[in-house]
Structure 1
Amino acid sequence: MGSMYFARTNKGNDVVNSGSWFGSDYENNNREPNYRRTAFTWNFLYYLINQTNALIEGVEGSTAIAESDKGPLLGQAYAMRAFFYFELSLEFQHTYKFDTSLPAPPIYDKPSQLEGKPMSTQAEMYAFILSDIEKSIQIGSSERMNKSYFNKEVAHGIAARVYQVMGNWPKAAEHAKAAYGGNVNAALSPDVYKNGFDDMDAGNEWMLASPQTDDQSAYYYTAPHGFFTQTESAYNNTYINKNFKNLFTKTDVRNTFVTTARTDYRQVYTKKFVFSFHADVPLMRTAEMILIEAEALYYSNPAAAHALLYALQVNRDPAAVKSANLGQALLDEIMVERRKELYGEIGVEWYDAKRLRKGLPRDQGGVHRLPMTSNPLMPDDKRFFLKIPQSEIDANPNIPSSINNDR
């Protein structure tokens, strides 16, 4: 998941890739049916879906597991399956609000089904996702062994993301608030920005993580930690758009940027992510949920949205001054805050541009290695999604060979 999110990060404007690893994602051309990005994303998510299907079938049919234990186990499984299908929906089609009748990936609800199913639709996919989420929240538990496990709060967080993409703002606000608990200061730990975002147990902010240990590590492949750092021996190929750096005040705890003597696109890098072989990877944080709630409230109660936004801003920067923004300017401020808070983590620029059906142009003036001057990402650009893998078309008789026509 970290590599999938980092691929999305590289497609945007706020970071700059110097080449090699994730370079094709940065070029926004890594989507053809025979490409590794396309095949990996499809196969990885369907492998995990099959595992969760096996878990559901095994728990439901077990006579050895106590009935009282089945709910929490199934709650985890339904949340995971919803999460993986949601990621598939983002990767392999236009956003939900573009056209819900468009083909979406096939839906499998049993393990090891040997007959390939036909494509679903976005409407069918999201109905399935929401059904899983509702079941997860209903029967799941808040208890878990550690933050790599899906619990009820994580299920609320997934629901908040799904309803955000769907534009169902009352539901997005409801689930986002349930996910982080409703108390901004209790849900945030600004000191985590001093720690290098490598420990899921540091502070209160990590909701879901992919943990790493020295004996079970992804090593240099660990994204994002192995790519942003310029001070440890890692890939060191990802820099920061200097215009993005300038959005941060000096007193903002999130200002972890270093300006070098270089004058090209490699002038600025970030120390947000410290690299080690045991650096945990953040997949969901409370700050994201606070900002989802703020965005959702904007459509019904702008004053409350503004107050919630400022509560996060002053937590990050004690010297923050509440803006006088109203209307579209307030919504734009919330979107900028999402970029400032979540850069490098979930591909937030790509995610927001896709769901809001906006373009994702890059700044000019030498701040990017590849400014994409003549071919910027436009609203509803097909480069926001991947083509169906050729290996799937070849193996599945229920997916027509013409599926990638006009994709």
Structure 2
Amino acid sequence: MKQNKFLNVQLSKYFVFIFSITFFISCADLDQDFAEERYHTSSHATAISAAGGTQGLKALDAAILSYLRDGEASEDEFGLKAVDLGMDLRSNDMDMSRNTWFGAYNNYDNVGLTYNDNDFLWEFFYKVINNANGIINTIPDDAPEEVLVFKYKSYTYRAIAYFYLIRIYQHTRADDSTDAIPIDFGDFVGEPKSTVGEVKQLILDDLTLAYNGLETYSRASKEEIDASVVAAYLARYHLTYENWLEAENFADIAMNAGSISDDVIHGFDELSLSEAIWGAVVTDATSEIYASFFSHISQINDGYSGWNHFKTVNSNLYDMIPATDKRLAWFADQEYPPGTILVPGTWGHYNITPKYTSLKFIAQPGPGEFIGDYIYLRNTEFYLAKAEALARQGKDAEAQQVLFDLNTVRDLSYVKSTNTGQDLIDEILIYRRIELWGDGVASFDMARTGVGLNRKDGRLNLVMPGADLEIPAFGDRMIYQIPQREVDANSNFDN
């Protein structure tokens, strides 16, 4: 089979030296926090493997985590949060005011064969897969438990990457026999397309192995993978593919991995937040400044969004938020003039703030600073996942209670729902749209529930010229085409 040069070249690019390494490294030097390193390199891993124990595996695991955080460290390719922002901008719920960075996601202008965003999505997740394979394929199943932990973590990374890819490059409701994406076995050979069913099975197998293997593992920080993280992705997987009982069970585990915060105006910029299950700490050393999530999403920070690339909520969704709900404060309730202090403890931004502009995500403390942690998973998502899974099974009373448990923290006036059946499901889905706005799930929820794009719905918030689109749920533009560079490098399939 023809070697897949695209993946191979991109993988080697990942292992780039940007700091020098001496051959002799002390164990103390090896046991460093990955958050203070921009990248770890293959040469680094080779050199430190001589230290014994799990030091080399720690470095390789840290490299994957660093890459999930930083991506290509460019304006719209800053890792997993860049993907989540791009996917949300494809939804019915988030708009931007002008065509600039991320504009091609918002107007669906990057789904074709040769677009840079498409290349990024493809190579980003296949780099994660390739490097996870590098760990999985070198650790035997009878290795000591402290070594196997890294194998289980890598199963999780690989499953996460395939889960994104299968939903980006194929319709979520596609039949299991439908051709989808290639499965990379770690030998850098261009494989033919696997079916939807084959990719789904690999994801489920990987997550199941990881969950069972990490069930008793105690992580050092929320930057690491543990069983609660795996449970969260199992809940997402089973909710997506309508395995309601499994979704209920794993959502219960994930929602209990944290506690709901009374304060909603904290910016979602600290991994120490009680709701956070998994994420990445961002420090002065690792901040990408303008090439960062908060630069693009925070109106208050002096970044792309704050300049005049406003990210706004669909006004129709805003109008669904009860007046007593604290989450209403996540969005500007009117247009504010320059210099207005919108969030206590921050600064009066020099630009206007249009009505409906996002105030949910703020990297403290103010101008020119973007030291905000990245939160990949929050436990509140899984209250809603469990509530939906219960309602889908006809367990209405239980679903009403779970929804009540979440919403009464967000809205002291919330009264337990009396809705049943589809009305209850619809209520839960609306609260998913509210609670998870900006968290990267909106367009994936549209895909799994068969909802198309409709930006001609009378919304009053700012909509980028050319983005006022209508696209049916299963329209061609709702999924990405496999990039031309991959097609050219892989003789085993055509796009």
Equivalent of 1:268, from 348, 356, 363? 356
Q: Deviations over 1:257-311 (max 9, x none)?
A: 2233379994221221113422112211111111111111012211111111111
Tell me what 1:199 maps to.
Answer: 270
Say whether residues 1:349 and 2:411 are aligned partners: no
CA distance in structure 2 between the partners assigned to 1:115 and 1:233 by the alignment: 44
Amino acid at match of 2:270: D
2:185 pairs with 1:109: yes
Q: For residues 201 and 265 of structure 1, do their structure 2 counterparts lie closer, same or farther at Cα, with a shift above 3 Å needed?
A: closer
Residue 91 of structure 1 deviates from its aligned partner by 0.9
| Distance in 2, Cα, partners of 1:179 & 1:365 | 34
Q: 1:76 to 1:365 in 2, by over 3 A?
A: closer
Q: Which runs of 5+ in 1 are unaligned?
A: none
Task: List aligned pairs for 1:167-182, cutoff 5 A.
Answer: 167-181=242-256
Distance 1:217 1:176 in 2: 32
2:405 matches 1:336: no
Residue of structure 2 aligned with 1:72, choices 149, 156, 166: 149
1:298 aligns with 2:391: yes
TM-score, L = length of structure 2: 0.74
Pick from 113, 117, 141 the counterpart of residue 33 of structure 1.
113
CA distance in 1, matches of 2:111, 2:467: 20
TM superposition shift of 1:368: 4.2
Instruction: Report which of the two structures shows the higher radius of gyration computed on alpha carbons.
Output: 2
Aligned length: 388
Contact 1:228–1:269, Cα closer than 8 Å, also in 2:
no
**Which residue number corresponds to residue 189 of structure 1?**
261
2:333 aligns with one of 234, 259, 265: 259
Q: SS where residue 216 of structure 1 aligns?
A: coil
The residue type equivalent to 1:105 in the other structure is I
CA contact (8 A) 1:339 1:349 kept: yes
1:242 positional shift = 2.6
Q: Look up the equivalent residue of 1:125 and give its one-letter code.
A: V
Counterpart for residue 359 of structure 1: 452
- Offset from partner CA, 1:18-44 (integer Å, 9 cap, x none): 121111111122101100111000001
**Structure 1 residues 244-253 or 258-267, which shifts more?**
258-267
SS in 2 for 1:200: coil
Q: Deviations over 1:177-210 (max 9, x none)?
A: 122238xxx631232x22110001122x111113
Structure 2: how far apart are the matches of 1:242 and 1:265? 15
SS at match of 1:195: coil
* CA positional deviation for 1:365: 5.0
Q: Secondary structure at the match of 2:375?
A: strand
Aligned to 1:390: 484
Of residues 218, 224, 240 in structure 1, which corresponds to 2:313?
240
My pick for the range that moved more, 311-320 or 366-375, is: 366-375
* Alignment pair present for 1:57 and 2:137: yes
How far off is 1:88 after superposition? Answer: 0.8
Task: Give, in angstroms, the shift of residue 168 of structure 1.
Answer: 0.7
Deviations 1:341-388 (A, max 9, x none): 110111x22111101112131232543425879841212122221101
Distance in 2 of aligned mates of 1:356 and 1:45: 24
RMSD of aligned Cα (Å): 2.3
Q: 1:286 aligns with which of 359, 365, 379?
A: 379
How many Å separate the matches in 1 of 2:398 and 2:491? 52
d(CA) in 2 for partners of 1:299, 1:261: 40
Task: Verify the 8 A CA contact 2:141 2:148 in the aligned structure 1.
Answer: no
Match of 2:194 in 1: 120
Q: Provide the C-alpha distance between the structure 1 equivalents of 2:439 and 2:295, rounded to a whole number of angstroms.
A: 13
> Residue 253 of structure 1: CA displacement?
2.5
Aligned to 2:289: 219
SS for the counterpart of 2:232 is helix
Give the distance between the partners of 1:196 and 1:392, measured in 2 at CA.
39
3-state secondary structure, aligned to 2:254: helix
Aligned counterpart for 2:213 among listed residues 123, 134, 139? 139
What residue identity is the alignment partner of 1:148? E
Q: 2:200 is aligned with what amino acid?
A: Y
Does the 8 Å CA contact 2:436/2:442 hold for their aligned counterparts?
Answer: no
Query: Conserved in 2, the CA contact under 8 Å of 1:56 and 1:77?
Result: yes
Amino acid at match of 1:268: Y
Counterpart Cα distance in 2 of 1:311 and 1:138? 29
- Contact kept in structure 1, 2:314 and 2:459, CA below 8 Å: no
1:73-111 CA distance string (max 9 Å, x none): 22211111111111111111111x32111112111232x
- Cα distance in 1 for partners of 2:197, 2:286 equals 39
Residue 2 (structure 1) aligns with: 81
Larger relative contact order (Cα-Cα within 8 Å, sequence gap ≥ 6): 1
User: Counterpart in 1 of 2:91?
Assistant: 12
Q: 8 Å contact 1:142–1:153 — kept in the other structure?
A: no
2 CA distance for matches of 1:139 and 1:384?
A: 36
